[in-house]
Structures are given as structure tokens and as C-alpha cells.
Amino acid sequence: MPSDGEDEYVPWVQQFCESFGHDYFVPVAQEFIEDDFNLTGLSSQVPYYREALLTILDYQVETADDDDDKKLPNKAILAHSAELLYGLIHARYIVSKPGLTAMASKFERNEFGTCPRYYCDGMHLIPVGSTDIPGSETVRLYCPCCNDIYIPSSSRYLNIDGAFFGTTFPGLLVKMFPEIENQCRLRIEKFNQHDFGLKLFGFKINELSASGSRMKWLRMHLKTDADRVEYDQCELKIPQLAANGDSIDDGGDGDDNDDDDKTMASD
Ligand SMILES: [Zn+2]
């Protein structure tokens, strides 16, 4: 029966994505939600998992308000569970091919905002969670140019859970779309000569003074082969006594993630 437009039915996922402050989210495809494989492990993280899943999929769910059964969730609890479940599915969806593509379009349209750092020259930001555990921290924005994270400028995002975007997503996006790295490279080349440092009447402030520049190497990018050689030779660990430059075992950076299933080449 055709509806008269006024009470047109809006699917739950669309409603969620259109509500206030939810504009970082992409709509997760129905097939993705219906595939049990994609939901592995979520049932233990979400209260009233089954009811929440049915809500997301637009099935009628009985709540305690309809029936006095104590085992049923009330509407508010069910709504919260459904949002939590959707958020966790969303974090998985955006690291799948269709989700990544949808987020890449949003990134391109600059829907996540631009980096506030002057030298990043309006680089588009990418949403990120600093942890994958829901309820720990709200969403942050990652700039692939300065490799730093920022708090969204609008307060509407201050209650969006970071775990709904996850820790893996920005890294995967940058690796899957090399043009993002290209955009960064252009900015780095453009601004490399102009290195900000405080000056007093034209004289640079000594690095050791309280307002002197610190840790400049953090934002340094190796450009020439000579730079690379220097980097390779610089000793970030206890110097070896062996004179013949025995291969020093690579300690790595110490915070290896246990993401064994990453398929991306990292070069
Ligand atoms: Zn930046």
C-alpha cells in the first residue's frame, strides 16, 4: 500500500546516521549486518544482543513497556544496546572494502574537518578511536600529515564513542588510498623550508631555554639518501662495542600491535 509521505517509514540505520552528531558514520549495508561471521564475539559485549540486532534490522521487538515480562529490556535500554551494537558493527564495516570506500568518499568531501595545524595546510582529518573498547574514550580525528590526533571542534561529537571507528581504520585508509600520502608529501615539501621557531628581534631562542624548540625531529621527514644513511646510523640504543658494525638486532618500536591479519604492505 503506498504511503502518503507524511508517515513514511525510515529504516533504523538511516535514522541513526541522520541523527544529531552522527554525521561521521556511514550506513552499514544490510547484508553486512545479516552475515553472522561479521558479528562474531559481539553478543558478549552488548546487553540484549538479540533484541538489539533485530531493532537494527527493523524487526518489531517486544519491550518491557509492551509486556510486563521482567526479562525484556525497556525501550531506553534497548535503544542504547542497539546503538552500541551498531557502533561496534560500524567499526568492523569501515575496515571492509565497501565501508572503507564509503568512508573514503566522506574523507574526500571533507566531512570530518581539516587539521588546525597551519603547516598541514587544510589537510582533511580521519576519525579514529584511541582504543577498541567501547565506553573508554570519545572519537578523535587523525591528521595523516602531522601524524597527530585532535579533538573534534564541534561539541556535537563529544559523546561519540571512539571505538565505533576503531584504532585500525585510519592506517588502513591511508595505505589503501596512496593519494592521501601524496597529499601529505606535497604539503611536507611545500613547508619543509619554513620551520617555525620563536625568535626575539630576529635571533632564534636557544633550544635549552623554556620556550626553546623541542623534539623537532618528531616532525622531520627524510628526503635525501644522505638523510636516510644518517638516520640508519644514529644510535637510538645502547652503542655496540663491536667495531665491525655487527648487525644490531632490530628492537622495533616496542609497541607492536597484535594485528597479525593485516594484509597491507607497509612500504
Ligand atoms: Zn596536521
Q: Which CATH number fits domain 12-186: 2.20.25.20, 3.40.50.300, 2.40.50.140, 3.30.70.930?
A: 2.20.25.20
pLDDT at 73: 80
Distance 261 CA to ligand 1 centre (A): 28
Q: Answer yes or no: are the C-beta atoms of 174 and 183 closer than 8 Å.
A: no
Q: Answer yes or no: are the C-beta atoms of 75 and 62 closer than 8 Å.
A: no
Q: CA 173 → CA 23, 27, 40, 98, 142, distances in Å?
A: 18, 17, 23, 12, 11
Distance 115 CA to ligand 1 centre (A): 5
Distance 152 CA to ligand 1 centre (A): 13
Contacts (Cβ under 8 Å, ≥6 apart) of 187: 119, 120, 121, 123, 145
Q: What is the pLDDT of residues 26-71, one digit of tens each?
A: 999 999 999 999 999 999 999 999 999 999 999 988 877 766 666 7
Distance 121 CA to ligand 1 centre (A): 8
Distance 234 CA to ligand 1 centre (A): 27
How far, in Å, CA of 175 to CA of 177, rounded? 6
pLDDT-based confidence at residue 93 (cuts at 50, 70, 90)? very high
Mean per-residue pLDDT for 245-264?
Answer: 45
Distance from chain centroid for Cα 222: 25
Is the pLDDT at 266 greater than 50? The verdict is: no
Helix/strand/coil for 85: helix
pLDDT-based confidence at residue 226 (cuts at 50, 70, 90)? confident
| E strand segments, the chain | 126-128, 140-143, 148-150, 199-200, 203-204
Is the pLDDT at 261 greater than 60? The verdict is: no
Distance 155 CA to ligand 1 centre (A): 20
Q: Answer yes or no: are the C-beta atoms of 224 and 232 closer than 8 Å.
A: no
Distance 26 CA to ligand 1 centre (A): 24
Distance 202 CA to ligand 1 centre (A): 27
pLDDT-based confidence at residue 257 (cuts at 50, 70, 90)? very low
Distance 38 CA to ligand 1 centre (A): 33
Distance 185 CA to ligand 1 centre (A): 12
Distance from chain centroid for Cα 50: 28
Q: Answer yes or no: are the C-beta atoms of 140 and 128 closer than 8 Å.
A: yes
